[in-house]
Each structure stands twice: as C-alpha cells, then as structure tokens.
A and B are shown apart, each in its own frame.
Chain A
Amino acid sequence: MKRLSEAQRRYLIYRGRKVIRKRTRENAKKARLKLGSSELLYQNFLKKVSLYRDGKFEQGFSLSGALEVPEVLSFSENYNQTATFLQDVRGRLALSWKMRFHNKQKFKRAVLQTKMSGVGHYYDFTKIKNISIPVALVLASEYDCVRRDHTAVPRAVDYENWNPQVRMMLDGIGFLEMAGINSSGPAFLEGDNLRILRFRSGSEADGELVDLLLRQLGVPEALEDTAIYDAIIEALVNTRHHAYPKGLEFPRPHFPGWWLTALVDKRDRRVVISVFDRGLGIPATLVDWDRYDVFERGWRRLFQEAPNPEDTRNDGTAIRVAMAVGRSSTGQAHRGKGLPSMEAALDLCRDGSITIYSRCGAYKRAKGARAHTLNLNAPVGGTLISWDLGF
C-alpha cells in the first residue's frame, strides 16, 4: 500500500470534513421540514388553544403556556390571592409587545409554519369558578388601559370553556368589549335574576352619565332619594382631584380616569355599585388634603408619631381616620365632605354597606354599625369603592 504524503493526507481530511458539514446541513434541513408539521410543533413546544374574538372562534397556539389564576376572585373572600393576581396582570400587560415574548423569533416561526394565530403566555380563565363584580371591574380596567394605549390587545383563550357564571359576569360588565375582543354590546346583560350594567369609564365627574346608569339599574328606589347619585359623583370628583397628582408619571399603559359598573340582584333585592381608579390611593394623597392638619392630629393621637404617606402598613387605619375627619364638624368645611357623603347612601336602604379598598387598606361600614378596617399585605392597585345596598 502506497504511503500517503502529508499534502494528500491533509486533503483527504479536508474533504471528509466538507462532506460531514454538507450532511449535517442536509439533516438539519430535513429536521426543520419534519418539525414544520403542526402536530409535531404542538407536541414539541406549543399548546393548542381556541382563540375568540367578535363571536368567532379559531384554532391557535400558545407559545409559553397558561398562567395560573385563582379559582375564587373576590376581595372579600380571597383578598391576598386576588390582589396578587391583579398585580401580576398589570405587570404583564405593562410589558411592550417586543418584551412580551421571550423568544420573538420562535413565535414568528410558529406563526409561519402553523399558519395560525398565537399567543404567548395567557391567563387560564377556565380555572376561575367565581368572580365578584368589583374584581371584574378592576380586571377590565387593566385591559381597558391597554386598549386605550393602542397596544396589542390579548385575545380570549378557550372562551367556550370558561365557567358560565364567570363568562356572564365578564361579558355582562363589558370586559370583552373593554379588552377589544368584542366590538360592541348592549347597555346591560340580563339573566334570570341578575342585571349587570356595562362598565362606564371616563375622567370627568359627569352627572348625566351617572343619572343614566341609575335609570338603567331599573331600581326606582335608587332614584327616589339623591343620596346614591351624590355619593357616586363625590367618588368621581375625588378621583379627579386626588387620585392622579399632577406631575407624577404613571407607568404605561395608563389612563387617569375612573371605571364604574353596577349589578342588580332582583331575587335578593340588592344593588352593588363599584367605582375604581388606578391612582395612588387615599393614604398616599392625604398629605395634599385641605384637612390634613386635622388628620395628622388624629394620627398622632393613635401612633404618637407623624404619618408617613409612603408607609403602607397602616393604610386601613389611615382611611378610617380620614373618614372620621370628614364627618367631623371641626376645622375648615371648604373641602373634605366628599368621603362622608359616600356613606350617606347607606341611609337610603333597608340595609347595606360601603367598602373602600385603597392601596393596602380596607374600610367597611354596614348600616347602623361601626366601621372596621384592615391593613392588607397587597395593594388593590388604586381605590375601589363599592356600595352593596338592599332595597
């Protein structure tokens, strides 16, 4: 056998490596083509979902899978999990489209190869068994900010598998319209014993709109006395004047306004009206209040130190002191009557309560009873006022 020269040996090694590189490229191409089939894509890293918009369903995929959602979304029954979930929603919606997907290239490739629409992460609303109307309103406000900011709006995923009560509640308050999933809907949704009003949002204290809402409730008692009208207007005025201090920049998406909805339970003869804003919260804005000096005196009597607006540990107590200051006849009456007038609506009804969640505090007072407050671990994300009135 002839001995190979050094040059021949180097040439044969070079040619061998070239063949290996060519075969590697060909094998990779075959693998990509093989992975191009939708079924294998699903098997490997995509989850099959149905996507809903404007009455139409289509098959799609989720690139990153479902995010957990608490089964019970209610501030009164499950506050910590509910508030934490809503914080997570706000945080994720705040990400821009570019940042929303960990792997934008993978998503684009999946769209091209499956020829389907897709989503990245999504909240698995099929897991929700119960959602209260105040939570539905807060959730809807987050998506409404995204829609107003002209950011890409999420789709409803696996909508047909949502719990019917959840679907009715979210559809009833106009969540699907707010999220841009449905284009339009009626003013209210009527079930067997429930009437749910479509949300309203705005930035002005619009009395005409509030009066229209009260008429749509279909509860004549709500119009016989003006206390409910006055209470709602004061809540909107407070949002306008205090929730979004001038000069402060809020993270996008942001809309410096309020959201409002209502539910009538005709069987139990109850009305629930909720108003929400995504502002700083009552405890953080008291320092700008005309009656802050009176509030501070009351605070010092309790804690023997000056109030710290950045300390959230006693937010419930701060709200209680503020309500008491508003009710008192001492000090300047120029401003500050808004908070107690929100409670006046309780006098109208056979029974009822007002609940205020603001930053990390909760204040609740039932008709004829003393108020009680809670200092909470998680913020509600603004100020939520709910009237639950029996008629």
Chain B
Amino acid sequence: MAGATISIARNFSRYPSGRFRSDGPHNGQKFREEVLAPAMREVLRKSGKVTIILDDVAGLPASFLEEAFGGLVRSGFDKNEILSHLNIETSQLRLQRYPSQILAAIEKALPDLARAG
C-alpha cells in the first residue's frame, strides 16, 4: 500500500518551534504547508497512510502541534480523512505524550469557514 513516512527531525527540523512563519525558521505553518499537507494530499489521492515519526526532536510545543496538525483541518482537509490516513509513531519514552496531543489538536480544530466559501 502506498504511503509516506515523515520524520519531523530528519525531514524538517530537530527544533520545532513557533506557530507561524514569522515566529521563526522551524514553525508549524511551514511544516504543514511544505511537508505534511503535500504528503497528505498524495496519500488521499493514491491511498495509504502518512506515518509521522517523532523521534529525536527537542520537543513539540503546543503551538507548533496545533498549527501543523490542527491547521490541516483549517486549510480544507476533512477531519475524518486526516484521522484515518494518519499514523504517529515514536520509540522514545520522553515523546510518548505527543501522539494523543496531536490527535486532540486535529479533533478540536474547526474548518476555516472563509476557505469553505
């Protein structure tokens, strides 16, 4: 089955921080627009899952996670489709709380009505 694997530390940055592009170089908006959303579009087109590997990041601040993953819903992706095509993995104990935080950010996000037209 086709799919995509994204390691945040290797494919984006070891130092996720900030929400918007203006916040700094390792922000959630940049991760979503340049890495996550293209991969999600691809798997939605071809089937499969996007697997996010969290290992080796310095941390995952709430604002980064919310903008990166909750922002998918605001930018037009269907919530249920995201949840059914997303897989989050980590082998490091210190990062164990983040998968549930990511799923919560997606669950609580609301579509941007302006975008929906």
Contacts and interface: CB of A to CB of B under 8 A. Distances in A.
B15 A332 contact: no
A207 B63 contact: no
Interface in B8-59: 13-19, 22-27, 57-59
**Interface on chain B toward A: helix, strand, loop, or mixed SS?**
loop
A334 B66 contact: yes
Interface string B76-103: 0000000000000000001100000000
Given A204-B18, A204-B24, A205-B24, A334 B70 contact: yes
A234 B62 contact: yes
A224 B15 CA distance: 15
Nearest to A337: B62
Contacts of A233: 17-18, 59, 61, 63-64
Contacts of A240: 18, 22-23
Contact of A207 (B17, B70, B95): B17
A338 B62 contact: yes
B43 to A, nearest CB: 25
B110 interface: yes
A341 interface: yes
Nearest to A341: B62
A225 interface: yes
Nearest to B13: A207
Contacts of B62: 230, 234, 337-338, 341
B6 interface: no
A67 to B, nearest CB: 39
Contacts of B68: none
A207 B94 CA distance: 17
Interface string A196-235: 0000000011111011001000000000111101100110
B109 interface: yes
A230 B108 contact: no
A94 interface: no
Interface residues of B, number: 30
Contacts of A211: 14-15, 58
B72 interface: no
Contacts of B23: 204-205, 237, 240-241
Contacts of B17: 205-207, 210, 233, 236-237
A226 B14 CA distance: 12
Contacts of B57: 226
A207 B104 contact: no
A237 B61 contact: yes
B16 A337 contact: no
B63 A237 contact: yes
A15 interface: no
A210 B15 contact: yes
A334 B109 contact: yes
A333 interface: yes
A335 interface: yes
A192 B22 CA distance: 41
Contacts of B110: 332, 334
Nearest to B22: A240
B59 A230 contact: yes
A204 B15 CA distance: 13
A234 B66 CA distance: 12
Given A224-B94, A237-B23, A207 B15 contact: yes
A174 B105 CA distance: 40
Q: Which 8 A-B pairs have the closest CB atoms?
A: A207-B15, A207-B17, A229-B59, A226-B59, A333-B108, A204-B24, A205-B18, A337-B62
Given A205-B18, A341-B62, 5 more contacts: A204-B18, A208-B14, A236-B17, A241-B19, A341-B61
Interface of A: 204-208, 210-211, 214, 224-227, 229-230, 233-234, 236-237, 240-241, 332-335, 337-338, 341
28 contacts: A205-B17, A205-B23, A205-B24, A206-B15, A206-B24, A206-B25, A207-B13, A207-B17, A207-B58, A207-B59, A226-B60, A230-B59, A230-B61, A233-B17, A233-B63, A234-B61, A234-B62, A237-B19, A237-B23, A237-B61, A332-B108, A333-B104, A334-B70, A337-B63, A337-B66, A338-B62, A338-B63, A341-B62
